[in-house]
Amino acid sequence: MVDIFYENEFTFDDLLKLDKTFLICDEFDEIFKNILVFFNEKKVIIKEVKDDSLILNLKLSSMTGKVKNVEIKLFKKEMNQDSIVKELCKKIKILEEENKNLKEEIKIFKKELNDLNNIRNDLNELKKWKNEKEDEFKKLIKEKKNVSILQNIDSKILTKAEDFEFIENAYKNNDKLLMNKIFKPKLLYRVTRDGDTATAFHNKCDNIRGTLTLVKTKKGFIFGGYTNETWDSSGNYKKDDNAFCFSIDLKKIYKSKKTNKSIRCLSDHGPIFGNYIFCIYNNCLSKGGMMNDGLNESYDGQQKANEINNGEQYFGVIEVEVFEIILE
């Protein structure tokens, strides 16, 4: 039995000489695969059959979409059954070797994949450990920061570092030159230590510039104010453009409207801010304090009357503290 086969040998350069379109292929095998695709897509026709050769016509599409016809010449090769078997055996041997190599590659790949999964698991464990340690570290830093910050203020009202920082930032925002200064309030007056009378307040706090007042009510609300002006018993209002009031519970600052009524100094009252945004009575532990029944005309930011005391005009007092602000 005799069959007719056609073959030819080409180098990559040989194919490039036929047509530069083959440059899109990185390897020779890619060209061969593309030619097989041409057969499937019926882009190859037999142009001519001679006694000793066969000419194929390939329809190639260039990058611009233009169709080119490229001829490939194959030479006749007669093969008998034995030669066909030999060729097939040769091909089978090549395929077996490729299969063996492929199995080895798959084995290596599986091992690498397993190693990668182990690394991924180790990495996840490491991330988990890192997050746990970061949380512990942040907690320790926060605790240390609380201790460090609260050492700077002798207060029975402020017990959280973030509340202290809230007031400190409000103070420093009035003047950017203060941002790098250390904020150290010095306790001047405490109701439960020095007495709840107006006289006790004035004896401790009058004629001292730059004071911070803190109030804690019987319902647990904490608010206060800062003024750069001095307290006295003159009965007068005083203007202070840098004054502000605040609510610790709302984390809200009420800035001065720059009127002539930033604070008021009365001999028979404790500290009074604005047109009574809050006022501390004489004998405040028994009488408490009050607020203006309406939106205060001296400080900005209130959404409702008596906002810093949860909307109530009158309040009972369990502690009042006044500090002199010292910067280092």
Quick: pLDDT tens for 37-74.
Answer: 777 777 777 888 887 888 888 777 766 667 778 888 88
pLDDT at 22: 66
Alpha helices in the chain (DSSP H): 12-18, 28-40, 81-150, 161-172, 191-194, 198-205, 284-287
Residue 129: C-alpha distances to residues 115, 121, 133, 215, 271 (Å): 21, 12, 6, 44, 52
> 182 with 315, same domain?
yes
226 belongs to a structural domain = yes
Q: In whole angstroms, what is the distance from residue 48 CA to residue 55 CA?
A: 5
In this prediction, residues 25-46 reach a mean pLDDT of 71
Q: What per-residue confidence (pLDDT) applies to 318? A: 97
Out of 125-134, 212-221, 301-310, the most confident range is 212-221
Let me know: does 224 contact 322? Beta carbons within 8 Å: no
Domain assignment present for 230: yes
The residue with tokens 């097939």 is: 88
Grade residue 149 by pLDDT with cuts at 50, 70 and 90.
Answer: low
Residues 104-146: tens digit of each pLDDT: 888 888 888 888 888 888 888 888 888 887 877 776 665 555 5
**CA 249 – CA 243 distance, rounded (Å):** 19
The residue-averaged pLDDT of 23-32 equals 66
Which of 30, 56, 83 is where one domain is finished? 83
How many structural domains comprise the chain? 2
Q: Is the pLDDT of residue 153 over 70?
A: yes
Task: Please provide the average confidence, as pLDDT, over all residues in the chain.
Answer: 84
Contact 324, 185 (CB under 8 A): yes
pLDDT given at position 97: 83
pLDDT at 202: 97
Q: Report if residue 97 sits inside a domain.
A: no
Give pLDDT, residue 95. Answer: 82
Q: How confident is the model at residue 205 (pLDDT cuts 50, 70, 90)?
A: very high
Confidence tier at 174 by pLDDT (50, 70, 90): confident
Supply the pLDDT for residue 2. Answer: 45
Count of beta carbons in the 10 Å neighbourhood of residue 203: 13
- Answer yes or no: is 250 within a domain: yes
Q: Is the model's pLDDT at 224 over the cut of 70?
A: yes
Q: Is residue 144, in this structure, part of any structural domain at all? A: no
- Cβ-Cβ contacts under 8 Å for 295 (sequence gap 6 or more): 302, 304, 305
Final residue belonging to a domain, choices 49, 67, 83: 83
Q: What is the pTM of this model?
A: 0.58
Both 163 and 57 in one domain: the answer is: no
> Which residue range is the domain that position 65 belongs to?
2-83
136-149 burial by CB neighbour count: b if 16+ within 10 A, else e?
Answer: eeeeeeeeeeeeeb
Q: Are residues 201 and 305 in the same domain?
A: yes
Together in a domain, 168 and 50? no
